[in-house]
Amino acid sequence: MAGSGKIKQSDLNQLVHHMSKKAFRAKDATVLDEKIMSHCLTLCGKDYKYSVLDNKNGELCNHYPPKLILLEYECRDSAGHHESIYNMQSLTDMFRKDRFARCRTRFVVPVILIEGKHICRSATISGNGERSGSSTATSDEANNGDPGDMQALDRIRRQDIKLLKELRVNHICDLMLENKKVKYFLNVTSSEKVDKLNRYSDFSLWSLPYPGCEFFKVWRDRDYDADRIVFDWSQEFVNSELELPQESPHLHIPDICWKEYKTWSLIKLTQNYLNTILRHVQSGDSGLLVHCISGWDRTPLFISLVRLSLWADGLVHKSLSSLEILYFTVAYDWYQFGHDLPDRLQKGEEIMFFCFYFLKFIQSEEFIVHFPTASRSRNVSSTDLDMHYPMGVLLDADFPPFGSSSSLCSDQSMSSRSDAAPQLFMVESTEKDGTMTSCPSSSALNGSRPVSVPLRVADSGSGSSGKRSDSPSVGSWQVVTGTGSYVESVSPHSGADAHRRLSSSGEFSRHSASLSDLHHEPSPRRTRLEEVRSLFYHAYASTVGFKNGAEDSSTLLDMFTDKMVALGNKLA
């Protein structure tokens, strides 16, 4: 039974604090976990008719929600609908058979419904290495011999394809850096694009390699500044190249020079990948599956960003307030789908925090999705107005270190949380970001000619960075200038460095609202995304806290206050 009552800030704080202490496991669900699930059902029910797939005690997948929400249609479109559009018995059987086709039994699940199209999530397809190590397969799933043999593998992959077609998914977005994940000399997972029998040839396969959660430790150690860090693509384990299908022209965004992706900062890489997904949502004719390896770090990053972006445009969850959509995406997209926040915090891999930090970089019109006949109207609740923190300083809260667990996408454990960050974090009101440059200007900066998007954007035999390094799989980053040239290797720096960076006129003006911004009415999209970002900062700072730094908190507070006073005097 779905719960009742409005979501409050205290509910969000409780959720973030709870998920920072324990990773969700369906078989170990607590009373609070049941309350969180109830809230999610209530929030979905405000806008959608849905069915529920029971995953009680993790019978289908232990790190999936206890109740999987299968959206059917918007409530405003429910005229004439009296029964579920799903045959739940048949669909449940398909999910049950499909789970062993995917890594960690994380099968394909639809999570966003837009214009009749499903956006789905999952892990990547499993290999014989993982399947042979599974002790959970029943005789029904492996009734034709050894579950590790090729015949069994063929059977479960064809079942996976059957489920994708049932959900009308024709596009697959693969975020993996590797074509296959090898552990202990076994291919434990693989990617649809390297399936030996080409079983996924009916699908439009996107290869959008994106750094794993390990690399967000560097972002944290750089005092949460991501617009100058570039991933080192020359590492030995990186063998997946960016590739978009030519048969999907709506993905070939003219202003993006895909051949230059190895020079992009973390911000620009994320912007361009997200924009590609949004263009498909707008112009594509079928559903989309997004996955990484395990599907609980990079996958929720993009699923959450897509959901929030579409909500800000008034296209999904139209009646939810800023607080409600934030609660839903944190609870459902991140926590209940298995994101291990305690482990990530202990290792400094704050990919979930990056998701909401990144909202300030997608407020411009280039990320807006347009549908000619779609209604974007949505009620603005009192929560939208009352809970808006346009600018402010959020105090740090200290929490003890958390336990660590193994990760399939990490061969190496990271160190515990650093002590080199400011104790205060500023909630900025940012101006329109300009990092997505056009092809002509981008080529002028990087010394290459403008090109259209090819089928294969890079020659696998000759990397853009020359000889591949023997660096460990955790990867490394480099700092680049505004022109895209490499300057230095990244290393953690002190809170004093962060203070100097924040105090410099250039950095402060780049990350703060300009005087001209204050004289213009912000767009509804920008306002909504700023509200979500501010609410999340408030909850995160008051429960988890940011990394501790040597800089005296009063110094940063005084600096921020002086800036605000000076700004106020100019406007007076």
User: Cα–Cα distance between 563 and 313 in angstroms, integer?
Assistant: 32
Res. 149 pLDDT band, cuts 50 70 90: low
292 is catalytic: yes
Percent of the chain surpassing pLDDT 70: 62
Burial 227-246 (b: 16+ CB within 10 A, else e): ebbbbbbbbebbbbbbbbbe
Q: Residue 106 falls within a domain, yes or no?
A: yes
Provide the phi-psi class of 304: left if phi over 0, else alpha when psi is between -120 and 50, else beta: alpha
Residues 119, 286: Cα–Cα separation, whole Å: 9
Give the residue carrying structure tokens 């030995």: 236
Check if the beta carbon of residue 231 is closer than 8 Å to that of residue 263: no
* pLDDT recorded at residue 407: 40
Task: Retrieve residue 63's tokens.
Answer: 């790190």
pLDDT over 80 (residue 18): yes
The verdict on pTM exceeding 0.85 is no
The span from the CA of 393 to the CA of 425, in Å, is: 6
pLDDT band, very low/low/confident/very high, at 371 (cuts 50, 70, 90): confident
Q: Does residue 52 surpass a pLDDT of 60?
A: yes
Higher pLDDT pick, 507 / 131: 131
**Least trusted range by pLDDT, from 45-54, 79-88, 140-149:** 140-149
Is residue 428 pLDDT above 90, yes or no? no
Q: Is the dihedral of CA 254, 255, 258, 260 positive or negative?
A: positive
Supply 299's token pair: 């996958």
| pLDDT for position 255 | 85
pLDDT tens-digit profile of 57-110? 999 999 999 999 999 999 876 665 556 778 888 888 999 988 889 999 999 999
Residue 123 burial (C-beta neighbours within 10 Å; 0-12, 13-18, 19+): buried
Winning range, highest mean pLDDT, from 118-127, 193-202, 268-277: 268-277
The identity of residue 497, as a single letter, is: D
End-to-end CA distance of the chain: 54
Run of H or E residues at 26: none
Q: Are 193 and 311 contacting, i.e. CB atoms less than 8 angstroms apart? A: no
Kind of pairing, strands 287-291 and 229-231? unpaired
Please indicate, yes or no, if residue 454 is contained in any of the structural domains: no
Among the residues of 88-188, which ranges form H helices?
88-98, 128-132, 150-166
Q: Which residues pair with 412 in a beta bridge?
A: none
Q: Domain range spanning residue 296?
A: 9-76+84-130+151-367
User: Could you tell me which residue, 129 or 503, shows the higher pLDDT?
Assistant: 129
Catalytic residue chosen out of the listed positions 120, 257, 292, 355: 292
CA atoms of 143 and 137, how far apart (whole Å): 10
**Do the domain assignments include residue 551?**
no
Average confidence (pLDDT) over 20-43: 97
Distance CA(501)–CA(187), nearest Å, equals: 45
The Cα–Cα gap between 422 and 416 comes to: 17
Number of residues written out for the chain: 572
Q: Is 411 within the bounds of a domain?
A: no
Is 103 within the bounds of a domain?
Answer: yes
Percent of the chain with pLDDT over 90: 49
pLDDT of residue 357: 97
Is the pLDDT at 143 greater than 90? The verdict is: no
Query: What is the three-state SS of 280-300?
Result: HHHHCCCEEEEECCCCCCHHH
Residue 239 inside a domain? The answer is: yes
Is the Cβ–Cβ distance between 232 and 199 less than 8 Å? no
Tens digits of residue pLDDT in 168-186: 999 999 999 988 765 544 4
The predicted structure's pLDDT at residue 183: 52
Domain count, the chain: 1
The answer to whether residue 90 is domain-embedded is: yes
pLDDT for position 123: 95
3-state secondary structure of 109: strand
117 touches 287 (CB < 8 A): yes
Are 63 and 23 in contact by the 8 Å Cβ rule? The answer is yes
Asked if residue 253 lies in contact with residue 414, where contact means CB atoms within 8 angstroms, the answer is: no
**Whether residue 50 has pLDDT greater than 60:** yes
Q: Is residue 122 over pLDDT 80?
A: yes
403: Cβ contacts below 8 Å, ≥ 6 apart:
342, 343, 346
Residue 365 one-letter amino acid: E
Position 14 in a domain: yes
What pLDDT shows up at residue 128?
A: 58
Distance, CA of 241 to CA of 262 (rounded, Å): 10
